[in-house]
A and B are shown apart, each in its own frame.
Chain A
Amino acid sequence: MRRFPKLAPLSLFSAAAVFIAACSGDAPPPQPTDTSPIPVSAAADVALKRLTRAQYTKAIQDVLGQAIAVPISLEPDDEVDGFFSVGSSEAGISALGVERYESAAYVVAEQAMVAGDTRDAIMPCKPNGIVDEGCAENFVGIVGRRLFRRPLDTDEVKRYATVANTSAQTLGDFHEGLGFALAGMLQSPHFLFRVELGSPNNAKQMPYGDYEMATRLAFFLWNTTPDDELLDAAERGELMAEEGLRIQVDRLLASERARAGVRNFFLERFNLYELDALVKDAELFTSMSADLGPDAREETLRTVEDLVFDRQADYRTLFTSGHTIINRRLAALYGVPAPALEGFGKTEFSASSPRAGLLGQLSVLALHAHSVSTSATLRGLFIRSTLLCQTVPAPPANVNTTLPEPSNAMPTLRDRIGEHLKSPSCAACHQLLDPIGLGLERFDGIGKFREQESGFDIDPSGDLDDVPFADARELGSLVAAHPDTVRCLVRHLYRYATSHYETAGEDSLLKELMARFEQDGFRIKPLLRHIALSEGFRFGSEAPTEAPEKEAN
């Protein structure tokens, strides 16, 4: 199993550090001090990456036209610890997947080839008759370069142009025939997979080629296929060189599309796609509606977008910030005035509000809870494993996980969950989780504030790694100040960027990324830049050609 190396043992951290947020808020961002490319001691093995469903859809629309409706029934994404980007390095295509990609390809090709604006925008030529070999080759060459994210070789152009010609002949229509060539390219492994294999240089490294870099940059920073400008820079041979790469990284980061990239990173990191299928007992939670999950996701994604791009603020303030971006529905549930009549707007919480930062957001509170109740264990696990990157062992297979029912003797979850801590085998792990999660107990299973459970006051105090907190706000401050919080973000962002679990050969690179992140005031945009310029992102290692020895079970 691939697992990242264990983090350094936790050191107790100073409660004084809790107040970092106050000094970094909206102050002008400090200038980055060091922007030199970070070296890697041993690059990770190369691997094909299958486009995620989101990438498939966006790539098609970017290449063929935004008006194209892309079918949603596609091969499902593989996730590895929540990250589709990491799963994409392992994902294959099943028999049903091949059928679905085929049928989607024809649905797309038909829309692209029906007379109209979409077709006019992608056709490089006007056909001279039902069969026009030159025009077909022209189309395959130009559109194929955008779909495969590299120029096609002459065999490939011929292969798909022949399909177009034969099909046009059979069907008696040039464009209908061309649609078959287009449908073919859309099913090719060169479109469905990102083929980034690198090639050896004189220094015995395996840098990714110019076009491979264009693909890596675009999917990392935009979560979609490269635009023409990026492919042109690759064609000019600029992306393997430091200066050319810098220019393009800065261009991509300055683009509005970088917002989609950052949103997708946090979507995967916090598993926010699960909010589509949020199941809550409607009788217990009367505010529950089908729109609530997607609204909550939007709140979190707008919050990170605002943090990374609009305010360019310290990442740690994500856990302490006194404002959020919500719509009327969420405002009603939070018990604050609606910021706008329609859509989302910024809301400041009062100084006495129990809610602050990410841990006060419905996405986190509702996702890490049961359908009928809260879960201090799941919420604690989210903080430990997703926010701090700490490994918590899974519960053993043969255990009774039932907690007692609420009763007068045990009215609140804190009373009942004590059962976990009575048994030594349960306590070993639950001691790591429950006392943190209990800090969020004043938010019910859907994230609504409450002061009591079963008529008894809820005590939201606890401790995080021996530093006590009084309530959820203080817990947020402790998470912000925890040294693992920033390390974890660096790890996750690097993992997301490169689609693999970081390897031992990347340890020193990650340490340096961490140092730069600190120098830059823990701002994410410069971190994206450091990663894109680093050797870990630019170099690969040759993958083994033989089957690995089976580990003994």
Chain B
Amino acid sequence: MSLKLNRRTLLRGAFGATAIGVALPALEVFLSEHGNAYADGSGFPVRFGWWFFGNGVHMDNWMPAGNGPTWELSPQLAPLAPVKEDITVVSGLKVYCENSVPHGSGPAGVLTGAPLGKAGENFASSALGAATIDQVVANAIGNDTRFRSLEIGVEDSHHSLSYVADGTSNTPETSPKALFERLFGMGFVAPGDEPIIDPKWALRRSVLDAVSEDATQLKKRLGYADKLRIDRHFDNIRALEKQIAKLEDDPPNLAACAKANAPLDAYPPDNDVPQMSAKHRAMADMMAMSLACDQTRVFSVMFSTPVNNVRYPGTSAGHHKLTHDELGEQPEVHGIVVQIIEELSYFLQAMKNVEEGDGTLLDHSAVLAFSDCSFGKSHAIDNYPLLVAGAADGALKKGVHYKSPAAENASKLGFTLLRAMGLPVTEFGAAEGLVTEGLSDIET
């Protein structure tokens, strides 16, 4: 296989005349002796992400009793007991943009504050019309990490709600094995270890240089729409070059960073019932560790997709079908929502279990959890089920239930989250979703 070289050896010039150019990492930040902040006085990085599940909830079983700091978990929120003090439940908000596409207009309203960019016949043929908040945040804080943002999916579906721009979505990784290879495979270095430099990395970068030159030349001949497509290809090639270059850097000195446990090779369905829980937990552990290692600061999790018909253990049909066909109080749907919230709880606990200085990874993050509608059966998008976990390093309150007094615009939450991440926004959203203020009651 390849010749492995120690970085320092390489710098001594072992390669003589054919030495490969190795960019010395700019080690501007070192952790202070106490390990609770970087030596230059800056705190831990603040991370942002969202965790999505399809098909809505049952409002009667979702809505917590109580308001403000005094509230009780509802039946569907009960699995969040271990993180109750780390979350803020936001209820009563409404997506004001037209509910033109079931399961599509809701997420567009939450993530872009705007109507869908393309309203097709169903969710799959529709598209969001602007960059989603995760990508707006990534534009601001994603440029120093190995990955600008990470998108994962637990259900086997390439549909994502993370959009870099109008109509342009990020493909999520849905294979735990591939995710592990990507994050912790070849080239991963734990803190304190020295990177072992593979000379092929530099060659791969020179290959990408050649490819991006092709893109640059091609762009000159294209119309507007094609130019955008090639621009994006070009940007993503450049991002990959940077990812490879980052492998040669010393890892950030973050005490909690370690190689995640390798997942199983596959999580095959058991009699048509996919192993959503086992697969999610493997991916959640990797994601938490990737954040702890500062490989990325922005993420999104598509636990399941809008309109998904995933089968869950102990149910008689697929999720979406049950939301429409199950009679009465929908006990089977309720059971599915509880299973999903158990997974959300696992994810948040995985983040909470990472100690960072005096706090935890979750303290240094803001995680939005939401679905594509409130009541799955009717596709309603008022009284929207929303939840924020983590304090964004003190910018957000936690452990409260914020119950909107007057069906406030759901875009206000996006506004608040962007502000909490340090973005100096003055407005968020478009059309009926446009807002110029956030939810001050959940801000500190």
Contacts and interface: CB of A to CB of B under 8 A. Distances in A.
Contacts of A184: 207-208, 210-211
Contacts of A112: none
Given A48-B226, A184-B211, A95 B148 contact: yes
Given A95-B170, A189-B214, A102 B309 contact: no
A227 interface: no
B18 A92 contact: no
A14 interface: no
Contacts of A546: 224
Nearest to B121: A394
Interface in B163-179: 164, 167-173, 175, 178
B271 interface: yes
B325 A99 contact: no
Interface residues of A, number: 71
B29 interface: no
Contacts of A181: 207
B105 interface: yes
Contacts of B215: 188-189
Question: Of B105, B120, B148, which is in contact with the most chain A CB atoms at under 10 Å from its CB?
Answer: B120
A80 B122 CA distance: 12
A475 B202 CA distance: 64
B171 A170 contact: no
B207 A183 contact: yes
B203 interface: yes
A192 B229 CA distance: 12
Interface string A146-181: 000000000110011011001101110000000011
Contact of B378 (A91, A92, A394, A398): A398
Contact of A98 (B167, B217, B236): B236
Contact of A281 (B102, B178, B317): B317
B321 A96 contact: no
B199 A47 contact: no
B229 A48 contact: yes
A279 B378 contact: no
Interface in A375-411: 394-395, 397-403, 405
B174 to A, nearest CB: 10
Contacts of A542: 223
B214 A166 contact: no
Given A93-B236, A159-B213, A180-B207, A402 B325 contact: yes
Interface string B308-333: 01010000111001001101000000
Contacts of A5: none
A213 interface: no
Contacts of A192: 233
B211 A92 contact: no
A275 B233 CA distance: 31
Interface in B111-136: 115, 118-122, 124-125
Interface residues of B, number: 81
Nearest to A404: B327
A449 to B, nearest CB: 24
B182 interface: yes
Contact of B240 (A46, A99, A371): A99
Interface centre among B207, B309, B311, B325 (most CB of A within 10 A): B207
A80 B118 CA distance: 12
A212 to B, nearest CB: 12
B232 interface: yes
Contact of B236 (A95, A395, A402): A95
Nearest to A102: B240
A1 interface: yes
A98 B239 contact: yes
Contacts, number: 183
Nearest to B100: A397
B224 A543 contact: yes
Nearest to A403: B325
A92 to B, nearest CB: 4
A73 B431 contact: no
A543 B378 contact: no
Interface in A285-333: none
A509 to B, nearest CB: 22
Counting chain B CB atoms within 10 Å of each CB, which of A45, A167, A188, A547 scores highest?
A188
A553 B211 contact: no
Contacts of B119: 1
Interface in B69-100: 98-100
A156 B214 contact: yes
A94 B170 CA distance: 6
B218 interface: yes
Contacts of B356: none
A189 B233 contact: yes
A201 interface: no
B158 interface: yes
Contacts of B115: 553
A1 B223 contact: no
Interface in A95-114: 95-99, 102, 106
A187 B211 contact: yes
Nearest to B166: A550
Contacts of A94: 164, 168-171, 232, 236
Given A94-B169, A180-B207, A195-B218, A371 B321 contact: yes
B379 A76 contact: no
B240 A402 contact: no
B255 interface: no
B324 A401 contact: yes
B337 to A, nearest CB: 18
A1 B327 contact: no
A421 interface: no
A372 interface: yes
Contacts of B22: none
A547 B224 contact: yes
Contact of B99 (A45, A79, A397, A544): A397
Given A99-B182, A184-B210, A553-B431, A47 B226 contact: yes
A106 B199 CA distance: 15
B225 interface: yes
B151 interface: yes
Nearest to A97: B171
B341 interface: no
Given A170-B20, A184-B210, A398-B380, A48 B230 contact: yes
A294 to B, nearest CB: 16
B223 A543 contact: yes
Contacts of B158: 76
A544 B225 CA distance: 8
Interface in A185-232: 187-190, 192-193, 195, 197
A370 interface: yes
B233 to A, nearest CB: 5
A169 B167 CA distance: 43
Nearest to B238: A98
A545 interface: yes
B109 to A, nearest CB: 12
A321 to B, nearest CB: 31
Nearest to B432: A553
Contacts of B223: 45-47, 542-545
A47 B171 contact: no
A371 B199 contact: no
Interface string B368-397: 000000000111100000000000000000
A98 B206 contact: no
A282 interface: yes
A170 B203 contact: yes
Nearest to A92: B229
B441 interface: no
8 contacts: A1-B119, A48-B226, A73-B175, A94-B236, A98-B237, A160-B210, A170-B20, A543-B226
Given A47-B223, A98-B239, A170-B199, 12 more contacts: A50-B229, A94-B232, A98-B240, A99-B243, A163-B210, A180-B204, A189-B214, A197-B221, A399-B378, A542-B223, A544-B223, A553-B115
A-B CB proximity, top 3 nearest:
A543-B223, A76-B158, A98-B236
